[in-house]
Amino acid sequence: MAESTLDKENIPVHIGIIMDGNGRWAQKRNLARSFGHKEGLESARRILTAAAELGVKYVTLYTFSTENWKRTKEEVGFLMGLITSHLHAEVERYLKDDIRLLHLGDMAGLPEDVQKELKDAMEKTAPKRGTTVVLAINYGGRDEIVRGVNKILSSDSLPAKVDESVLEKSFDIPDLPPVDLLIRTGGEKRLSNFLLWHAAYAELAFSDTLWPDYSKEEFLATIADYQHRNRRFGGVK
């Protein structure tokens, strides 16, 4: 799939990606799961570069869910270290590529060193106006909604009525646009508590490819498929 064949007027504004399959990729090669996570990081770099070149405004990566704490202490520790080292090493590239970084999830539940690197990266990239990369770390769709409701309840002035607009303003990133295209690799076909509110009318794309093997070509082909879908948002065209 060539980038030139895509309709540049119909590029998804917001793409969400469930990067599934790192562990299985490593196990198929008789390697520790950590090798899969390292390769998955390379795939993320590749896809983010492709998204930025296309002019995608927002890409949200499901990096670590609220349920991932159930994994072994060793794997969780490795993932936290990988996130920290990635943020520290990638800030300069984000700045060069005009990328803004945001965090989605419960920041307070993360280790202090991860919090520090996230806050530092967000502060440095705040002026950038190219693609916004949203890292969903310690994130769950249900958790975000529950935390949002509790923010409303604990506010100094309770609204007379809670509607969609009021609730959205209580979310981690109030101005995060709806997801247009949600991609999940690794062969599974479920949302796994990812962006439940934002993906209400997202176009879903499931790939059997394990995340470390997910290529720019497949990414572009998925966007081409998206461009041929008839998005009705509950109405009739």
Of 7, 22, 30, 68, the active-site residue reads 68
Please identify which of the residues 7, 10, 20, 225 carries the catalytic annotation.
20
Q: Which residues contact 62 (CB under 8 A, 6 or more apart)?
A: 16, 17, 18, 19, 136, 139, 192, 194
What is the SS3 assignment for 33?
Answer: helix
Residue of 24, 111, 18 whose CA lies nearest to 65: 18
| Known active-site residue 68 | yes
- Radius of gyration of the CA atoms of the chain, in A: 18
Residue 196 CA to residue 136 CA, distance in Å, equals 13
Q: Tokens in use for 83? A: 């996130």
213 is an active site residue = no
Q: Are 206 and 184 in contact (CB under 8 A)?
A: yes
Length of the chain, in residues: 237
| Helix 73-96, helix 112-125: angle, nearest 10 | 10
Residues 6+ apart with CB under 8 A from 124: 91, 94, 95
Question: Token pair for residue 24?
Answer: 């299985």
> Roughly what angle, to the nearest 10 degrees, separates helices 33-54 and 73-96?
30
List residues with catalytic annotation: 20, 68
